[in-house]
Amino acid sequence: MVITKTPFRMSFFGGGTDIKEFYSEYGGSVLSSTFDKYCYVTSRFLPEFFDYSSEFVYSRTERVTDIDKIEHPLIRNCMKFMNLQNIRLAYDADLPARTGLGTSSSFAVGMLNAFHALKGEMADKKKLANEAIYVERILCHEAGGIQDQIAVSFGGLNRIDMDEDGYHVIPIVISRDRKQELNDSLMLFFTGFSHMSAAVQEKVKENFQDKIRRLQNMKTMVGEAQRILTGKGNLTEFGHLLHESWQIKRSLSGGISTGEIDAMYGAARKAGAEGGKLLGSGGGGFLLFYVEKDKKPYVRKALEKLLYVPFSFETGGTRIIYYRAEDPVNF
């Protein structure tokens, strides 16, 4: 039996530049961090006592005798990719799916990590990220970028640079106190809306050439944000830059924001938030704001109808938290 624990991520700057159509020609760059909300994947070989050969428990339960009959595309393609049979798998998570936190990629990375361990293999973080990208983008034909799989595999506060030759994960080196100041200044709220990331990403790709300049501006902001974090100036500039970036991002597609989300964002800004953004590709999920300590109560009050989610940054990335070797043929 194997249990893996894989964090969710929040992307601060550069989202959209991790789409292959952009980074393969212009180079992409993203600044993101994982945080202490996780998905858990429990997996083991299924004893041959049942009238089904595999069982998968997520928001529903599937029991199949043929891998091709698995309805969940990510599970089906991971099983095929890893050449596995007779598996019992259960998924659980601290936060809901389809909410802009890279939940599907966390599931993909955690599942692949568990499957490798079941086979007696130790996969490193880059291998897991690469395989998750391949499964999601190639085998599942899901539109989207590559930042999520990398972020949740490696963990931590990082800059991720990518081009046609690959990607590089660059840790943001700042003092513990400054990192804690950043953490303490961020507020996370659930809008109550979910979204399909792939659908939003497809809309962003429409008239893609017309959006190149805006994506290049968003890429430039990654370097600006890194300079703010690693410098000695006021971190409030980070909040201002979030606001500027969000204004550009929401202009990329009509599906990124909505009237309701704009109203929530406006209310938070009026209450004292320096800036913020909708996490993920857009359309719903979680709103993140940079708020000075003395303004936090006012922002909480302005968004009192939304669920506030305290969090802390984490650095571990995906990991195996329980392992017991099993032989698939001896029960």
List the one residue out of 22, 135, 132 whose CA is nearest residue 76.
Answer: 135
The bridge status of strand 54-57 relative to strand 87-93 is parallel
Question: Residues 228, 290: one domain?
Answer: yes
Report the pLDDT value the prediction gives residue 207, as an integer from 0 to 100: 58
Instruction: Cite the DSSP H helix spans in 173-250.
Output: 176-184, 197-205, 212-230, 236-249
Question: Residues 194, 253: one domain?
Answer: yes
Report the pLDDT value the prediction gives residue 308, as an integer from 0 to 100: 97
Top-confidence residue, 171 or 97: 171
Instruction: Report how far residue 331's alpha carbon sits from residue 313's, in angstroms, rounded to the nearest whole number.
Output: 41
| 253 burial via Cβ count (<10 Å: 0-12, 13-18, 19+) | buried
Q: Any idea of the CA torsion for 225, 228, 234, 235, to the nearest 10 degrees?
A: 40
Question: Residues 20, 107: one domain?
Answer: yes
Write down the residue that tokens 């599931």 correspond to: 107
Q: Which domain holds residue 128?
A: 2-172+315-323
Report the pLDDT value the prediction gives residue 197, as an integer from 0 to 100: 47
Are 108 and 78 in contact by the 8 Å Cβ rule? The answer is yes
Report the pLDDT value the prediction gives residue 256, as an integer from 0 to 100: 81
Question: Residues 232, 276: one domain?
Answer: yes
| 64 burial via Cβ count (<10 Å: 0-12, 13-18, 19+) | middle
- Residue 212 forms part of a structural domain: yes
- Residue 331 forms part of a structural domain: no
Question: Residues 196, 271: one domain?
Answer: yes
Instruction: Report how far residue 255's alpha carbon sits from residue 163's, in angstroms, rounded to the nearest whole number.
Output: 27
% residues pLDDT > 70 (the chain)? 93
Question: Residues 153, 9: one domain?
Answer: yes
Report the pLDDT value the prediction gives residue 139, as an integer from 0 to 100: 97
Write down the residue that tokens 């292959």 correspond to: 20
**Listed range (28-32, 45-49, 239-243) with the worst mean pLDDT:** 45-49
Overall number of domains in the chain: 2
Q: Any idea of the CA torsion for 162, 107, 215, 183, to the nearest 10 degrees?
A: -90
Top-confidence residue, 206 or 81: 81
Are 242 and 274 in contact by the 8 Å Cβ rule? The answer is yes
- Residue 70 forms part of a structural domain: yes
Q: What is the pLDDT of residues 297-323, one digit of tens each?
A: 999 999 999 999 999 999 999 999 999
Are 116 and 323 in contact by the 8 Å Cβ rule? The answer is no
Top-confidence residue, 280 or 170: 170
Listed in order, strand segments (DSSP E) in 58-203 are: 61-64, 87-93, 157-163, 166-171, 186-190
**Listed range (39-53, 115-129, 189-203, 248-262) with the worst mean pLDDT:** 189-203
State which H helix or E strand residue 75 sits in: helix 73-82
The upper half-sphere exposure of residue 39, i.e. CA atoms within 13 Å in the direction of its Cβ, equals: 26
**Listed range (39-43, 62-66, 92-96, 206-210) with the worst mean pLDDT:** 206-210
Top-confidence residue, 207 or 132: 132
CATH of the domain at 14: 3.30.230.10
Residue 326 — pLDDT band, cuts 50, 70, 90? confident
Q: What is the pLDDT of residues 77-98, one digit of tens each?
A: 999 999 999 999 999 999 988 8
Question: Residues 183, 123: one domain?
Answer: no
**Res 200 pLDDT > 60:** no
- Residue 268 forms part of a structural domain: yes
**Res 201 pLDDT > 90:** no
**Res 174 pLDDT > 50:** yes
SS3 state of residue 60? coil
Mean pLDDT of the chain, nearest integer = 92
CATH of the domain at 268: 3.30.70.890
Question: Residues 156, 187: one domain?
Answer: no
pTM for this model (two decimals): 0.92
**Listed range (4-13, 132-141, 166-175, 249-258) with the worst mean pLDDT:** 249-258
- Residue 330 forms part of a structural domain: no
How many CB atoms are closer than 10 A to CB 125? 18
The upper half-sphere exposure of residue 71, i.e. CA atoms within 13 Å in the direction of its Cβ, equals: 8
Residue 331 — pLDDT band, cuts 50, 70, 90? very low
- Residue 328 forms part of a structural domain: no
Contacts of 158 (CB under 8 A, 6+ apart): 31, 32, 33, 151, 169, 170, 171, 172
Instruction: Report how far residue 110's alpha carbon sits from residue 308's, in angstroms, rounded to the nearest whole number.
Output: 26
Question: Residues 230, 129: one domain?
Answer: no
Cα-Cα end-to-end distance for the chain: 12
Question: Residues 209, 289: one domain?
Answer: yes
Question: Residues 147, 8: one domain?
Answer: yes
Listed in order, strand segments (DSSP E) in 116-218 are: 157-163, 166-171, 186-190
Question: Residues 217, 126: one domain?
Answer: no
